Structure 1
């Protein structure tokens, strides 16, 4: 296939396949979270579950970025998708074959494998997207489209997962998770025709390292990564403690967790749409954009600390979803459009280290604070620190401008 029209159809196909896979993934995560909450009711176990998904990025996102830039994004993308399928099957088999602590350990192991494979998949996908656009101006809105589709999957997946757990048990949700990975695998292998001849690969040696990408990306992008990491360490713990937050604020039934997760997703969709419609303008003011989304999250966390009616809690949950989605998506977007093509695999790896690695640490820190001080106090501490960090970034670097790199 060639030409603007055919590439447009391919971009839509890739979005749909990725969105359906995301919905299956969140159905599986909802089922796992409910099982862990039902069997342990331990905040630390829930935090470890999210850490197993996110903390591998601190170890493997760097090598994933280096490998993507060296051997090619399509090859790494296909390999990562097969590994994600294996992780999904491991979780699905754990339900009928195991029980008790062994089952819990197997579920955590499957999530750990998914975290490792997901780091490679996201890194390769970011660079792969640039090979599906016909004009460099299309890259920013296309990347943000993945944020919207991802968050639609976050909305549909938990509802589907909660419904399957309620009616048929968690095995069905986990089986769905595994099956949906077949969709992006099939699309990349047989249906998509990216412009691979335009891909720039790094040569083996010291110039292909992660440290070179960190050095060569420039001070503005380094600040984007540093600020994102700080904000995530402080306040990106709601995915890990979601089952606990839902149980304390809404109820302990599977659909209560599904409601909480879906409201988060609605907020994420809203944040993603705002970013998509203003992608070039928001890219041009990176610190103001990141700090603005971070401030929304922090203020909502202070609202959760205050507490109130169910409607108020859900409203704060919506804002947390919007703020965190905007922060993570804009960080990924800015580092991609602001870096040359030869660095984009490694920049995607650095972005993942910043927001998923930071989020994994945040979950463990928040879990310990919750055990020691309680959930409302934890929200108050993280929200207060987040407000200070966001306002400081706006005051210090709010006027910083970024010029997009005009190369696919």
Structure 2
């Protein structure tokens, strides 16, 4: 078969598939790193630092990633970012056989930091790239939400793979698979995808191509969406960083326990993503009701974690936390993409990452300090209570506001 004759639909499916496999490998590596850090160093702060290293670079580089994507082209930035992810993941895999003790921990954190930097560029470029491989403008909403579902399936499959590999073969296997998985999307974009490059709109150099200009041109509704997402993530998006500690409190300290716990979170994420996908057009038109609703689900689940001592109830609350946070992050990304002109979508992707990954990275550090000062149960209660108040206030004030998606790609 001539690969150049792949239909646009097949190209989209292939891009989704290879991205999902890469995501599964990434979460196998994240699970392995979390277990190594918890087993070797202990304590919530190191775990929070690892997640912060992955997410906080978005505060510094997502804006740059958005500007460069709009100026230089999303395909070029996507390929460069994928190579960067491969190199960063290989660095983590090499840390296991070559180093030990604090040197190993430091190298793992550096690997995570570099993956956070490269990931910010990759996610920003991929959002805009998706608009170049669809056939009709109406397909963009569904395709972007499909990425959310595939991403969360990877979150479901990856952690148990990572947990079992750590238990049976050692962490180097999990980190090695993480690195190798990036070869698939790289090969797909380089050799198999043929985007409509003429459709892309690029920004000019100078002030008109800046992040601040995109913020101003996005309109008050999208600025409000970004602000609400950032606030809700700052309060309640700490579970990726503290997942090993949460899993240990509920199930135990075996790496397979961590795999089970993160899989429950991922199953909830898939459910949240599917709900968003099936209602994407309607949810986009009610941005504050959508984002506030997902934030409210997360906050209520955190309060449930604080009140529960039963394993099954705690896992059910973890499922809801996964659903709420996945819906929150995916809806922010979706709404800011379909509600913005094509020329600023790269920068809107960068602003979205700043909102949810930057807020999440800071949330992990704040939650870790709360755990050290009090305990995990109190942390759930405090963050859940504040999250409920914030979500209800925004829904009450702006829940009826509507947004009509931009029709052009």
Do the aligned partners of residues 3 and 198 (structure 1) sit closer, same or farther apart at CA in structure 2, a change above 3 Å counting?
farther
In 2, Cα distance between the equivalents of 1:254 and 1:44?
19
8 A Cα contact 2:285 2:403, kept in partner: yes
State the TM-score, normalizing by the size of structure 2.
0.99
- Paired residue for 1:60? 61
Do the aligned partners of residues 2 and 345 (structure 1) sit closer, same or farther apart at CA in structure 2, a change above 3 Å counting?
farther
- Paired residue for 2:402? 401
- Paired residue for 2:161? 160
- Paired residue for 1:372? 373
In 1, Cα distance between the equivalents of 2:336 and 2:328?
12
Residue 147 of structure 1 pairs with residue 148 of structure 2: yes
- Paired residue for 1:119? 120
In 2, Cα distance between the equivalents of 1:267 and 1:308?
20
1:171-210 alignment, distance < 5 Å: 171-210=172-211
In 2, Cα distance between the equivalents of 1:308 and 1:371?
20
In 2, Cα distance between the equivalents of 1:303 and 1:155?
22
- Paired residue for 2:108? 107
In 1, Cα distance between the equivalents of 2:402 and 2:303?
30
8 A Cα contact 1:235 1:386, kept in partner: yes
In 2, Cα distance between the equivalents of 1:347 and 1:88?
27
8 A Cα contact 1:3 1:134, kept in partner: no
- Paired residue for 1:254? 255
In 1, Cα distance between the equivalents of 2:84 and 2:43?
29
In 2, Cα distance between the equivalents of 1:376 and 1:349?
34
In 2, Cα distance between the equivalents of 1:167 and 1:258?
13
Could you tell me how far 1:309 is from its partner in structure 2?
1.1
Q: CA RMSD in A?
A: 1.3
3-state SS of 1:406 partner: coil
In 2, Cα distance between the equivalents of 1:3 and 1:406?
29
Could you tell me how far 1:40 is from its partner in structure 2?
1.0
In 2, Cα distance between the equivalents of 1:142 and 1:339?
16
Could you tell me how far 1:3 is from its partner in structure 2?
12
- Paired residue for 2:17? 16
Unmatched 5+ stretches in structure 1: none
3-state SS of 2:138 partner: helix
Could you tell me how far 1:13 is from its partner in structure 2?
0.3
| C-alpha distance after superposition, 1:53-111 (max 9, x if no partner) | 00000000000000000000000000000000001100110000000000000000000
State the TM-score, normalizing by the size of structure 1.
0.99
8 A Cα contact 2:3 2:192, kept in partner: no
Do the aligned partners of residues 2 and 163 (structure 1) sit closer, same or farther apart at CA in structure 2, a change above 3 Å counting?
closer
Number of matched residues? 408
| C-alpha distance after superposition, 1:190-213 (max 9, x if no partner) | 000011110000011110000000
In 1, Cα distance between the equivalents of 2:5 and 2:322?
34
Do the aligned partners of residues 4 and 392 (structure 1) sit closer, same or farther apart at CA in structure 2, a change above 3 Å counting?
farther
1:8-407 alignment, distance < 5 Å: 8-407=9-408
| C-alpha distance after superposition, 1:31-72 (max 9, x if no partner) | 000000001111100000000000000000000000000000
In 2, Cα distance between the equivalents of 1:339 and 1:232?
22
Could you tell me how far 1:264 is from its partner in structure 2?
0.2
Do the aligned partners of residues 3 and 395 (structure 1) sit closer, same or farther apart at CA in structure 2, a change above 3 Å counting?
farther
8 A Cα contact 1:27 1:173, kept in partner: yes
8 A Cα contact 2:339 2:404, kept in partner: yes
8 A Cα contact 2:4 2:192, kept in partner: no
In 1, Cα distance between the equivalents of 2:316 and 2:61?
36
In 2, Cα distance between the equivalents of 1:128 and 1:300?
35
Do the aligned partners of residues 303 and 80 (structure 1) sit closer, same or farther apart at CA in structure 2, a change above 3 Å counting?
same
8 A Cα contact 1:4 1:134, kept in partner: no
3-state SS of 1:399 partner: coil
3-state SS of 1:92 partner: helix
In 1, Cα distance between the equivalents of 2:42 and 2:370?
16
In 2, Cα distance between the equivalents of 1:331 and 1:3?
34
Could you tell me how far 1:6 is from its partner in structure 2?
1.1
In 1, Cα distance between the equivalents of 2:5 and 2:291?
32
In 1, Cα distance between the equivalents of 2:43 and 2:208?
45
Task: State the 4+ residue runs in structure 1 displaced beyond 2 angstroms.
Answer: 1-5
3-state SS of 1:255 partner: helix
